[in-house]
Copies of this chain bind each other. A is one copy, B any other.
Amino acid sequence: MRAGVGIGGWEDIRAEVLRRIRVRDWPPGAMIPTEEELATEFGVARATVNRALRELAVAGVLERRRKAGTRVAALPVRKATLDIPVIRQEVEARGQRHSFRLLSQAEAVPPVPVASRLGLGPEQRMIYLETLHLADGQPFVFETRWLNPLVLPAPLPDFATVSANEWLVAHVAYALGDIAFSAAGATPREAAVLGVAEGAALFITERTTWTAEAPITAVRLAHAPGYRVQTLV
């Protein structure tokens, strides 16, 4: 049985709860009614209320604990969700044409910070790639990547024609990893490749990717000036 009035689905309930928080019916830090009470009030099943409150808890708006109940977050640790697309998609989403050039390929021992971030011994050799991604022919991202050869399937592609990222996605076991953002002045190499002044402020994205057991790759993306990462909360 659905309520006869306006409120029905879990999205409506989420909206109503958010409204009461905004109107300060339920100020920051305050306890809100139990799921059962809200279910009765709204005329829905408890599972529906649970769905709404769970989403708000994930978003950082509510804090929930068994037995303790649910309260409005006092200091809202906002959770921002970012889309991290493949570079080609990112460029094409801007309506520009994507291309890339493999600038160098080598096999070498990675520098200590890279090795330790991947949890590798200091002697482990890896494949090193430098790639410049272009948007409508203009430098867009300078990508430096370390690949763990131990986890790559046998016939390696020609990375001059196949993007390492997309090849990995298609040929290596699905993986999780972490992402970090920072800012850094352009190194001489980055400045030359991207066509900017040495020391120019660059937006840096660093990603580390793992299988269940072994590291796959560590990437550093140095974005051309003007790059922004944006979130709609």
Contacts and interface: CB of A to CB of B under 8 A. Distances in A.
A203 B174 contact: no
A116 B74 CA distance: 30
A18 interface: yes
B169 A28 contact: yes
Interface in A166-186: 166, 169-170, 173-185
Interface in A77-126: 77-86, 89
Contacts of A22: 173-175, 211-212
Contact of A80 (B60, B61, B81): B81
Interface in A205-225: 211-212, 223, 225
Contacts of A18: 174
Contact of A179 (B83, B179, B183, B230): B230
Q: Closest 5 A-B residue pairs measured CB to CB?
A: A183-B183, A201-B201, A183-B203, A78-B84, A22-B173
